Amino acid sequence: MLPLLVALLLAAAPIAPAAPTPVATPPGLVDVAGRLPDAVLDIRYATADNFVGRPLYPVARCLLLPEAAARLERAAVALRGRGFRLLLFDCYRPLSVQRALWKAMPKRGFVADPATGSHHNRAAAVDLALADLAGAPLEMPTGFDDFGPAARAWATDGVSARARRHRALLRDAMTAAGFTVNPVEWWHFDAPGAAALPLLDLPLDGEQGAGAGPAKAGPWP
């Protein structure tokens, strides 16, 4: 009788859900979420909320070269002390996705030609904004990937005083960490030495594709 009762109790017990399979990180890159657990991830190319109108990434994650991630961490620490968190839109972007963006908007100055690539394709650029300590986005000059004149890094027309202040706080923290701002995109920052780095087409889920080698660091000052 007792074995039967035990068997019935085991059968009635709820089955614990399987633990999610960890997503591998491509060799040579680091997952920024591990270094900045308070960063707000709003990876737009993993959603349909981007100028292409459809998801282009299989997962929403921010990957960078270790040196770039360390600089981003420095900026985050400085901003955290002033009551802000980082809101991340895009980091490493596979070259295959760059080709899709170029197909949708083949216009230099708005989208980098995949023939020369973006610093995102080198895992040495990050698109970001500010959030408050609760994670709510703060007012910025424009939305992400806005192609209008107010998106320029020093635009004033149509940009509120509060948005200019937030933009300046972000820019000051990022440049103090060694990044440079893209003059036509207030949200885009490049790590130093990015132009000398190779273009990468490593998948974001870490599964090695044909011809894809590990990311290599370049001449970091």
| Active-site amino acid positions | 185
- Which one, of 153, 148, 155, 159, lies nearest residue 182 by Cα? 153
Provide the residue type at 145 as one letter. Answer: D
**What is the Cα–Cα distance from 20 to 84, expressed in whole angstroms?**
31
**What is the Cα–Cα distance from 114 to 102, expressed in whole angstroms?**
7
Q: Collapsing DSSP states into helix, strand and coil, what is residue 129?
A: strand
Per the CB < 8 A criterion, the answer to whether 32 and 39 are in contact is yes
Q: How far is CA 40 from CA 18, 185, 199, in A?
A: 26, 20, 26
Alpha helices in the chain (DSSP H): 2-12, 32-35, 66-80, 95-104, 161-176
**What is the Cα–Cα distance from 95 to 82, expressed in whole angstroms?**
36
**What is the Cα–Cα distance from 140 to 42, expressed in whole angstroms?**
15
Write out the two tokens for 97.
């996705």
